[in-house]
Amino acid sequence: MKSMTGFGCGEALNDDLIYRVEVASVNRKQADIVVNLPRELSALDSRIRKQVSEVVSRGRINVGISLKSSEAKGGSLSINLPLAEEYSAAIAKLEEHLGLNGLVSRFDPGRAPGVIQLGETLPEPEDAWPFVEKALKESLSKLLEMRSTEGAHLKSDLESRLATLKGFLQQIAEQAPSVVQRYRKNLIKRLDSAGIELNLDDERLIKEIGLFADRCDISEEITRLESHFAQCHKYFTRDEAVGRPLDFLIQEMGREINTIGSKANDASIAQIIVESKTELEKIREQIQNIE
């Protein structure tokens, strides 16, 4: 079991360039991969996505790739002359339109964003790929390690909450047989209060109690809930993505608990149902974090 939350980074050195890859993931129902890399290496986007999708099946995964010079060598200055000319032309047009003087003469190209840049000469995508791939694999390995660690904590918490839910179910199963007995007692009391004399062996009384017992029978729901509990524990031990099937099981548990609440028609069981729903909602929230 793995969490959908994690972070990992990796680096690879090639001559004077350090390739750094950072991968961060957060919750998302589907896989959503976002890649940010230098424009010159945009041809590697599909390869990066393929590598990520092979190891991550759910969550929003942000992949950031940057290059910088090693400590041994510095970067180089570059001047974007076309951009500087565009700045100058735009200011001249503004000066003419507004009827102002001196805007062009006061324009300092060195202060204009993007005109003078300190950067590295980036290699061709094919030459850069082996180093990007190496750093990417390292970052993904660390990401998976963190997601597995978080997943272990989630598993422990879920097992504890399921145990609490099982305890509630056991209380309901123990109280269920007495529901019919209380109904029979209350029915006879109401008949007596109404002044209706009725033999306890009267067929109509027996039939009414029998119909009530059939309506409030929750044995099937309890059996299905026990089966869902067993399925959850099986998913807890698997390495593949289990978030979706667990989410489905929790929905089914909610339906069974609601059915028990509507069929039982008993105040004491209704209170346990409320506590069960509260615990189930906490379980549902935790499962949203599981891959």
How confident is the model over 251-270, as pLDDT tens digits? 999 999 998 888 777 778 88
Do 281 and 190 sit in the same domain of this protein? yes
Do 232 and 136 sit in the same domain of this protein? no
Q: Which of 24-38, 112-126, 139-153 has the lowest mean pLDDT?
A: 112-126
208 pLDDT more than 80: no
Do 214 and 200 sit in the same domain of this protein? yes
Do 142 and 199 sit in the same domain of this protein? no
Bridge partners, 31 (sequence order): 59
Do 59 and 32 sit in the same domain of this protein? yes
Do 214 and 246 sit in the same domain of this protein? yes
Q: Structure tokens of 34? A: 């976002």
174 in any annotated domain: yes
- The total number of structural domains in the chain stands at 3
Do 157 and 276 sit in the same domain of this protein? yes
Do 138 and 204 sit in the same domain of this protein? no
Q: Which residues contact 11 (CB under 8 A, 6 or more apart)?
A: 18, 19, 20, 21, 135, 138
183 in any annotated domain: yes
Q: What beta strand segments (E) does the chain contain? A: 6-14, 17-26, 31-36, 59-69, 76-79, 116-119
Do 278 and 216 sit in the same domain of this protein? yes
91 in any annotated domain: yes
280 in any annotated domain: yes
Reported pTM: 0.68
Answer with the residue of higher pLDDT: 198 or 138. 138
pLDDT of residue 240: 83
Do 242 and 277 sit in the same domain of this protein? yes
290 DSSP 8-state letter = B
102 pLDDT more than 80: no
Q: Report the chain's C-alpha Rg in angstroms.
A: 34
1 in any annotated domain: no
135 in any annotated domain: yes
Report the run of H or E that residue 28 belongs to, with start and end. Answer: none
Secondary structure percentages of the chain, helix, strand, coil, to 5? 65, 15, 20
Label residue 173 by pLDDT band (50, 70, 90).
Answer: confident
47 pLDDT more than 60: yes
Do 162 and 195 sit in the same domain of this protein? yes
| Burial degree of 272 (CB within 10 A; 0-12, 13-18, 19+) | buried
67 DSSP 8-state letter = E
Domain range for 228 is 149-287
104 in any annotated domain: yes
- In terms of Cα–Cα distance, which of 41, 3, 1 is closest to 21? 41
235 in any annotated domain: yes
CB count, 10 Å around CB of 264? 22
Q: Which of 101-105, 130-134, 188-192 has the lowest mean pLDDT?
A: 188-192
Do 17 and 95 sit in the same domain of this protein? no
